[in-house]
Amino acid sequence: MALPPEAAGHAAESSGLGGGGSAAKPHARRDSVVIRFAGDSGDGMQLAGMQFTAESALAGNDIATLPDFPAEIRAPAGTIAGVSGFQLNFSSREVFTAGDEPNVLVAMNPAALKANLDDLPPNGVIIVDREAFNEANVKRAGYATNPLTDHSLDKFQVFQVDVSKLTNAALHSTGLNNRAVFRCRNMFVLGMLSWLFQRPIESTERWLEGRFRKTPELLNANLLALRAGFNYGDTTEMFASSYEVQPAKIVPGLYRNITGNSATALGFVAAAVKSGRPLFLGSYPITPASDVLHELAGYKNFAVYTFQAEDEIAGVSSAIGAAFGGAIAITTTSGPGMNLKAEAVGLAVKTELPMVITDVQRAGPSTGMPTKPEQADLLMAMYGRHGESPIPIIAAATPADCFECAYEAVRLAVSYMTPVILLTDGQLANGSEPWLLPDADKLPPIKVEFASDPNGFMPYKRNPETLARLWAIPGTPGLEHRIGGLSSEDVTGNVSYSPANNELMVRTRARKIAGIAREIPPTTIFGDANGGDVVVLGWGSTYGAVREAVKQLRDKGKSVSHIHLRYLNPLPADLSDQLRKFKKVMVAEMNMGQLLKMIRADYLIDAVGCNKIQGRPFKVNELINRISRLLEG
């Protein structure tokens, strides 16, 4: 069967989900399960998935999720283009990815089945809403015949549940119209799966109470559907047993489930609070970055200003203005917006004003695949401005890591008086994982010191160690001064066309950014600290897949290690030496080889690439195969 084998020491009760009905339903134990919820964009599969995730997190499992939805908000119902999916890996062990392939596929209609079937391994479990497989829907999905009856699914375990009919029956007494009842199907499915995997539904009930606080009739309907689904799981003869995934052994502490965009937003709020300054976000809505704007808009009592600008350029420009005035200034966007912001970011480089530009990367070029992740903006972050304009770059590795990276980006920006680019991507933004909550009191300090002494004040006077210039904000008597994009004289900041001065200023800014390397912790090697056959170098959201692949290969005795970078500019000072300890260096990234180019160019190391540009994260098995070939070759 498709579910992973039972944990050692537990007798198998049945060979699959199905089987003859038995009066007392047993629990079968599993180490980890991967479920994919799939349906029409309007079927509420993202919500069902997120709530199942919350239930699993509260049950103590380690989890990783990967939402996968179309850019179209509501593509024609029942078509492949409109299929929205949410994959969740929950486990009693540490998990690093949302799983290569689902063990269980929930398909709310034929299109959802068709769009996801290729990912399902033989004997995988398919749960469908039987009534959705009517003639019209089958045709709309592009099937010639009904897959439920034409034996094309014989290699899978198919469970046909009358989700629509049962939801209807459960909600009969509510008097709600068909449309409203139809929209509760996701809660029926969630209830059913909650029973199947022994998730308590109380947290979902609480969540529904909050969501439908103002519409008691909808709250009642959703609760009825949820409980009906749960009870159906228990009473139906279809499912022979339920499954139990024990809590994972993870680092002790207080946890919550968090998406990358939420963690990014919280990281910025925390940095602003710690610095004692207001936070200003100038942003133009863009997928998949908008949630950071939405979330920050709700934190006004933290002195958080959110400004929905008229365009991307105004987003970054307003942030520059706020930085000039002494706020913690940020802008958030995705690739197309990064292009538009480039000129203004150059102004922030030249005027040496602190700010953070967050690029939630998505698949390009051009509009590309807005809801799908990619890592192809690295070289743009490095070089995508005219003139010599170096910028520190930080990349988050996991959804929760976005918090620390956002925080660190602000810290570097104000410590070095420079714009900083924070790279995340669509996978991190919408994916989630348990987050070990940091102690707010123990976050590293962020020291903001404004110039105040008019005696000998010069706008480009620098801190001798960091080379950061003074931050002199309007409102400070005696420090009236002018800054601008024109080349300016060292120290005084007066407009200057002196050739030697221009080179001095360009080199000084470059030295300032390069000097940040002194703050980067030594590179850690997962695996062979003293070197070995292969090291996989990664950055950003590939962390989970790379770590899992390397782990699995090491379990088989292979000499494979993993280095994952948070700091991409400057690179860690010891990175070159660490990489040279290995016979082969492979750079895994979701682009055509951008970090690879940097490594080869900076270090003259003959690294090779492992690249994927499909708008989908690496699968663990893809990496294992690629690394294995490198080990052999």
Partner 1 sequence: MATALTRKDFVSDQEVRWCPGCGDYAILAQVQKIMPEFGIPRENIVFISGIGCSSRFPYYMNTYGFHTIHGRAPAIATGLKITRPDLDVWVVTGDGDGLSIGGNHLIHALRRNIDLNILLFNNQIYGLTKGQYSPTSEFGKVTKSTPMGSVDFPFNPITVALGAHATFVARSVDVEQKHLGETLKRAHGHRGAAFVEILQNCNIFNDGAFNDVTDKAIKADHQLVLENGKPLVFGKNRDKGIRMNGNRPEVVTLGHGVSEADLVVHDETNLSLAFMLGNFEAPLPTPVGVFYATNRPAYDAAMNAQLAEARAKQGEGDLAALLKRGDTWTVS
Residue numbers 238-267 binding partner 1 by CB under 8 A:
247, 250-257, 266
The answer to whether residue 494 forms part of the interface with partner 1 (CB under 8 A) is yes
Interacting residues with partner 1 between 571 and 600 (CB under 8 A): none
At position 632, the amino acid (one-letter code) is: E
Residue in 334, 363, 286 with CA at minimum distance from that of residue 615 = 363
Q: Is the Cβ of residue 106 or residue 265 nearer to partner 1 in the bound state?
A: 265
Q: Is the Cβ of residue 445 or residue 464 nearer to partner 1 in the bound state?
A: 445
Q: Which helix (H) or strand (E) segment is 588 a member of?
A: strand 584-589
| Distance, CA of 270 to CA of 283 (rounded, Å) | 19
Q: Which of 280, 407, 543, 582 binds partner 1 (CB under 8 A)?
A: 280
Q: Is the Cβ of residue 143 or residue 324 nearer to partner 1 in the bound state?
A: 324
Q: Which of 12, 495, 504, 592 binds partner 1 (CB under 8 A)?
A: 495
288: left (phi over 0), alpha (psi -120 to 50) or beta: alpha
In this structure, are residues 347 and 324 in contact, taking their beta carbons and an 8 Å threshold?
no
Residue in 235, 103, 54 with CA at minimum distance from that of residue 161 = 235
For residue 629, give the 3-state DSSP assignment.
helix
Within 8 A by CB and 6+ apart from 89, the residues are 32, 33, 34, 63, 64, 65, 95, 97, 98, 99
Round to the nearest angstrom and report the end-to-end CA distance of the chain: 35
For residue 428, give the 3-state DSSP assignment.
helix
Q: Which of 155, 485, 522, 625 binds partner 1 (CB under 8 A)?
A: 485
Of the candidate spans 80-88, 120-128, 274-282, 529-537, the one that interacts with partner 1 by CB under 8 A turns out to be 274-282
| Distance, CA of 515 to CA of 390 (rounded, Å) | 12
The answer to whether residue 456 forms part of the interface with partner 1 (CB under 8 A) is no
Q: Which two tokens stand for residue 613?
A: 């540009």
The answer to whether residue 410 forms part of the interface with partner 1 (CB under 8 A) is no
Q: CA distances (Å), 121 to each of 6, 302, 590, in order?
A: 18, 48, 24
Q: Is the Cβ of residue 64 or residue 363 nearer to partner 1 in the bound state?
A: 64
Q: Which of 174, 339, 476, 576 binds partner 1 (CB under 8 A)?
A: 476
The answer to whether residue 317 forms part of the interface with partner 1 (CB under 8 A) is yes
| Distance, CA of 357 to CA of 399 (rounded, Å) | 18
Q: 10 Å Cβ neighbour count for 453?
A: 11
Q: How far is CA 86 from the centre of its chain?
A: 13
Q: Which residue reads 């000998």 in tokens?
A: 456
Minimum CB distance to partner 1, residue 112 (Å)? 28
The answer to whether residue 93 forms part of the interface with partner 1 (CB under 8 A) is no
Interacting residues with partner 1 between 507 and 546 (CB under 8 A): none
Q: CA distances (Å), 96 to each of 252, 306, 604, in order?
A: 18, 33, 31
Total residues found in the chain within this entry: 633
In this structure, are residues 31 and 245 in contact, taking their beta carbons and an 8 Å threshold?
yes
Minimum CB distance to partner 1, residue 474 (Å)? 4
The answer to whether residue 407 forms part of the interface with partner 1 (CB under 8 A) is no
Q: CA distances (Å), 175 to each of 213, 217, 576, in order?
A: 19, 9, 69
Of the candidate spans 90-98, 140-148, 482-490, 547-555, the one that interacts with partner 1 by CB under 8 A turns out to be 482-490
Interacting residues with partner 1 between 13 and 72 (CB under 8 A): 54, 57-58, 60
User: How many chain residues interact with partner 1 (CB under 8 A)?
Assistant: 74
The answer to whether residue 458 forms part of the interface with partner 1 (CB under 8 A) is no
Sign of the Cα pseudo-torsion (248, 252, 257, 263, in order): negative
Q: Is the Cβ of residue 273 or residue 630 nearer to partner 1 in the bound state?
A: 273
The answer to whether residue 491 forms part of the interface with partner 1 (CB under 8 A) is no
Q: Which two tokens stand for residue 261?
A: 């965009």
Minimum CB distance to partner 1, residue 459 (Å)? 10
Minimum CB distance to partner 1, residue 27 (Å)? 21
Minimum CB distance to partner 1, residue 443 (Å)? 8
The answer to whether residue 269 forms part of the interface with partner 1 (CB under 8 A) is yes
In this structure, are residues 418 and 470 in contact, taking their beta carbons and an 8 Å threshold?
no
Interacting residues with partner 1 between 203 and 232 (CB under 8 A): 203, 206-207
Minimum CB distance to partner 1, residue 343 (Å)? 6
For residue 272, give the 3-state DSSP assignment.
helix
The answer to whether residue 154 forms part of the interface with partner 1 (CB under 8 A) is no
In this structure, are residues 504 and 490 in contact, taking their beta carbons and an 8 Å threshold?
yes
In this structure, are residues 329 and 355 in contact, taking their beta carbons and an 8 Å threshold?
yes
Minimum CB distance to partner 1, residue 544 (Å)? 19
Minimum CB distance to partner 1, residue 278 (Å)? 6
Q: Which residue reads 């994972």 in tokens?
A: 248
Q: Which of 182, 305, 457, 603 binds partner 1 (CB under 8 A)?
A: 305
Q: Is the Cβ of residue 307 or residue 582 nearer to partner 1 in the bound state?
A: 307
The answer to whether residue 457 forms part of the interface with partner 1 (CB under 8 A) is no
Q: Which of 12, 81, 169, 486 binds partner 1 (CB under 8 A)?
A: 486
Q: Is the Cβ of residue 323 or residue 394 nearer to partner 1 in the bound state?
A: 323
Interacting residues with partner 1 between 94 and 123 (CB under 8 A): none
Interacting residues with partner 1 between 329 and 348 (CB under 8 A): 329, 343-344, 346-347
Of the candidate spans 74-82, 158-166, 200-208, 222-230, the one that interacts with partner 1 by CB under 8 A turns out to be 200-208
Q: Which of 4, 325, 531, 593 binds partner 1 (CB under 8 A)?
A: 325
The answer to whether residue 387 forms part of the interface with partner 1 (CB under 8 A) is no
Q: Where are the beta strands (DSSP E) in 155-249?
A: 157-161, 242-245
Q: Which of 88, 111, 319, 394 binds partner 1 (CB under 8 A)?
A: 319
Minimum CB distance to partner 1, residue 394 (Å)? 20
| Distance, CA of 142 to CA of 124 (rounded, Å) | 22
